[in-house]
Amino acid sequence: MDIGTAKPDAATLARAPHHLLDIRDPTEAYSAAAFCDDARRLMADITARGRVPLLVGGTMLYFRALLQGLDDLPRADAALRTQLEAEAAARGWPALHAELAAIDPATAARLAPNDSQRIGRALEIFRLSGKPMSALLDRTQADLPYRVLQLALIPSDRAVLHQRIADRFDAMLAEGLLDELKSLRQAYALSPDLPSMRAVGYRQAWACLDGEISLDELRETGIAATRQLAKRQLTWLRSWPDAVELDSLAEDLEARATTRVERHLQT
């Protein structure tokens, strides 16, 4: 899954050691709890070698879990998830999103009405624990043994962001997103309901390969979904506690970020 995930190219990977890439098959799930375990192990190893670990990405829930802790969220329940999938088939995910909004408005507010994976997980947690996921996540566990500098790169010009999103998606198509998905479908027992195949880009490419949408519609819906994802990420970042906001479009971005890092390491 190199193209659809925009995995760093070989030159970028050669500049510094990268971790947590290619650690799961597309048929396997990955959770915030598993990420926390992996990240803590790697951070301990990196710091023991006198290096500073950099955590880079956009999965806000995973970072929140690492920094604030998870309050023993219930493990996934296959039977309950099957029940939720059946309810969604009968009523539609927007209806389940509305149900979630009634019991956990904070979580529902940051999820799109068709975000089946996260809506399902939030409802699963509530039905298993009787508590909203947002309430459980608010019970922080401040035991991460590091002083973490958090840099939030936020573009000052939304039009530029939208153009870059379009350019990125066009590049993915040109690099062979459809062929990549064809190969994945031949190599693994995949279905469109798997978390890996619900990801933006793969979800639209799957529909295109199945003849549900045209190539032009693949591009249009893929770009639109990426823009929606970026909007949700920016909403998270703007409300993120202790984040240092930097303009990702600024010409002196690298200098500003370097100054912040040096100041942090000296204190």
* pLDDT 10s digits, 103-158: 999 999 988 898 888 899 999 999 998 889 888 876 555 568 888 999 999 999 99
Least confident of 38-42, 88-92, 105-109, 235-239: 235-239
For 164-175, how does the pLDDT look when each residue is reduced to its tens digit (9 = 90+)? Answer: 999 999 999 999
What is the distance between the alpha carbons of residues 207 and 200, in angstroms, rounded to a whole number?
Answer: 12
Beta bridge partners of 246: 153
| Average pLDDT, integer, range 207-215 | 96
Domains assigned to the chain:
78-135 (1.10.20.140), 149-266 (1.10.287.890)
How much is the pTM?
0.74
What is the average pLDDT value for the chain, to the nearest integer? Answer: 91
* pLDDT for 58 beyond 80: no
3-state secondary structure 34-56: HHHHHHHHHHHHHHHCCCCCCCC
Instruction: Compute how many other C-beta atoms are within 10 angstroms of the C-beta atom of residue 257.
Output: 17
Instruction: Compute how many other C-beta atoms are within 10 angstroms of the C-beta atom of residue 182.
Output: 13
What is the distance between the alpha carbons of residues 252 and 27, in angstroms, rounded to a whole number?
Answer: 42
